[in-house]
């Protein structure tokens, strides 16, 4: 016997009696009603796992062939966890598609044996269990992609988080730009998981990593878009993202012709009134990421101005690691703790941290993560020394260190940070607001640092 509660809806009294006797022997509870109205009243009074409803019921309006479809939509709105099976003697692909679009799990053609219906009920229950498991996983993913993933409290980080939070509240297309390794794709996922679309699909498409010959078929489906088509038909990944978010990673890598097609599809969706939803996918949010200057590329003719105009409804700039110098220490500690076993117990020495904050980080957070992983693997003791820190681009490191003036000989982390602040103040003619932005800290924090380190213009000879 299948442990579930089944509600059977049919206006034929003989069929109801036969099904009630048959179902009662095979499920823990079965009830029968003769109309959609009675079905809704019964569902409101008691929980049912499965509803089996007829497609046509003769005691209703001239639109009776849609009665079953209407009931499905209403049940899914009021009782979303209830699975629905549509029974019909007018079986066709159109009926099946209408039923599944309305929310039915499947349909069964009359006449049928009750044992066959039980098999379908068991599959529907399994489908519900899997759906709940997926929902739990999605909730866990949403937790994993919390704003804590964007660790740091520098001014640049706080502005970045604020822009992401505001974007998540809207439903417009988004363009996230910034240098490689600044966390653009993580930001895109956070936006999805904190938006109203979080329960719907999230699909990421790597424009640079996908062979050019496959891009169109992957995005739109094989042979789905004809050149000059007024109403593009799509069946690829864009269609699979229905109701959710589609991330275009490194959008600048899309071929120019693909950019034109994508702009055509998105514009058609925006212009759609819903009547052509079978042809144009009109319910997907696009988040594009780029490491390029797309406006400049559009002016030069290298990027579609139409696509750019659609994407940059909301724009977000991801800050570089050099703009958020105060975040290096907490980020490094995060990457150390994310290691396994004894590695996660290690810590940075002052000299190692000094070496990290005086580097320019051309590949930003991604590079910092790689450097920390190498350092934790190389360190022979709990403390990670400066010798355990090395960079792939050593030339960049040498250049960075050379531009920081040696005003003191202490060599401590505090003194290195002091000289960096002093040089930035000098470069910005002691403009506190501009210096704070350059250092990635708040103006009040900068003022406190100046007081702490007793920084004055005389230290760099401006008042001689």
Look at residue 341 in the predicted model and tell me its pLDDT.
57
Helix (H/G/I), strand (E/B), else coil: 85: strand
Is the predicted pLDDT of residue 143 greater than 80, yes or no?
Answer: no
Is the predicted pLDDT of residue 463 greater than 50, yes or no?
Answer: no
Residues 305 and 357 in one domain: no
In tens, the pLDDT along 351-371 reads 899 889 888 898 898 899 999
Look at residue 407 in the predicted model and tell me its pLDDT.
34
How much of the chain exceeds pLDDT 70, in percent? 79
Radius of gyration of the chain from Cα atoms? 31
In a domain, 12, yes or no: yes
The lowest-confidence range among 54-63, 203-212, 334-343, 430-439 is: 54-63
**Higher pLDDT residue, 316 or 393?**
316
Per the structure, the count of domains in the chain is 4
Q: What is the CATH number of the domain that holds 48?
A: 3.40.50.2300
Is the predicted pLDDT of residue 120 greater than 60, yes or no?
Answer: yes
Residues 192 and 293 in one domain: yes
The lowest-confidence range among 86-95, 290-299, 312-321 is: 86-95
Look at residue 136 in the predicted model and tell me its pLDDT.
63
Look at residue 253 in the predicted model and tell me its pLDDT.
95
Is the predicted pLDDT of residue 150 greater than 80, yes or no?
Answer: no
Residues 305 and 172 in one domain: yes
The parent domain of residue 87 ranges over 2-136
Output the CA angle 416-417-422, nearest 5 degrees. 100
- One-character DSSP codes across 198-267: TTS-EEEEETTTS-HHHHHHHHH-TT---TT-SS----SHHHHTTTSEEEEETGGGS-HHHHHHHHHHHH
Residues 257 and 360 in one domain: no
Question: What is the rounded distance in angstroms from the CA atom of residue 269 to the CA atom of residue 26?
Answer: 47
In tens, the pLDDT along 279-304 reads 344 588 999 999 999 999 999 999 99
**Higher pLDDT residue, 147 or 388?**
388
User: Which segments of 328-445 are extended strands (E)?
Assistant: 347-348, 383-384
Question: What is the rounded distance in angstroms from the CA atom of residue 198 to the CA atom of residue 176?
Answer: 19
Give the residue among 331, 337, 413 at the shortest CA–CA distance from 368: 331
**Higher pLDDT residue, 250 or 410?**
250
Give the residue among 313, 185, 155 at the shortest CA–CA distance from 248: 185
Residues 299 and 342 in one domain: no
Q: How many CB atoms lie within 10 A of CB 117?
A: 22
């Amino acid at each position: 016997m299948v442990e579930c509660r089944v509600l059977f809806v049919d206006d034929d009294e003989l069929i109801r009696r036969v099904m009630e006797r048959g179902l009662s022997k095979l499920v823990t509870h079965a009830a029968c009603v003769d109309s959609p109205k009675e079905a809704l009243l019964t569902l409101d009074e008691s929980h049912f796992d499965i509803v089996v409803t007829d497609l046509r019921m003769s005691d209703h309006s001239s639109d009776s062939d849609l009665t079953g479809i209407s009931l499905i939509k209403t049940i899914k709105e009021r009782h979303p966890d209830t699975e629905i099976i549509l029974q019909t003697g007018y079986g066709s692909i159109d009926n099946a598609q209408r039923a599944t679009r309305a929310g039915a799990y499947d349909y069964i053609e009359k006449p049928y044996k009750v044992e066959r219906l039980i098999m379908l009920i068991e599959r529907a229950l399994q489908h519900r269990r899997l759906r709940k498991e997926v929902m739990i996983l999605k909730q866990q993913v949403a937790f994993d992609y919390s704003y804590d993933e964007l660790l740091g409290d520098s001014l640049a980080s706080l502005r970045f988080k604020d822009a992401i939070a505001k974007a998540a509240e809207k439903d417009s297309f988004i363009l996230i730009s910034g240098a490689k390794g600044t966390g653009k794709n993580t930001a895109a996922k956070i936006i999805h998981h904190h938006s109203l679309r979080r329960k719907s699909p999230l699909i990421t498409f790597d424009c640079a990593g996908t062979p050019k010959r496959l891009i169109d078929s992957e995005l739109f489906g094989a042979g789905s878009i004809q050149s000059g088509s007024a109403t593009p038909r799509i069946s690829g990944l864009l269609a699979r993202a229905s109701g959710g978010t589609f991330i275009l990673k490194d959008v600048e890598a899309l071929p120019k012709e693909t950019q034109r097609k994508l702009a055509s599809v998105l514009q058609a969706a925006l212009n759609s009134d819903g009547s052509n939803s079978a042809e144009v996918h009109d319910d997907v949010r696009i988040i594009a990421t780029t490491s390029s200057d797309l406006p400049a590329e559009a002016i030069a003719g290298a990027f579609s101005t139409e696509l750019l105009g659609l994407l940059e409804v909301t724009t977000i700039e991801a800050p570089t690691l050099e703009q958020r110098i105060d975040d290096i220490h907490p980020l490094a500690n995060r990457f150390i703790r994310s290691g396994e076993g004894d590695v996660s117990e290690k810590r940075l020495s002052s000299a190692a941290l000094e070496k990290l904050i005086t580097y320019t980080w051309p590949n930003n957070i991604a590079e910092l993560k790689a450097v920390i992983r190498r350092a934790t693997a190389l360190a022979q003791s709990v403390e990670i020394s400066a010798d355990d820190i090395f960079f792939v681009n050593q030339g960049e490191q040498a250049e960075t260190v050379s531009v920081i003036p040696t005003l003191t000989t202490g060599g401590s982390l505090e003194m290195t940070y002091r000289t960096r602040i002093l040089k930035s103040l000098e470069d910005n003619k002691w403009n506190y607001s501009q210096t704070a932005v350059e250092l990635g800290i708040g103006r009040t924090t900068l003022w406190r640092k100046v007081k702490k380190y007793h920084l004055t213009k005389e230290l760099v000879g401006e008042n001689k």
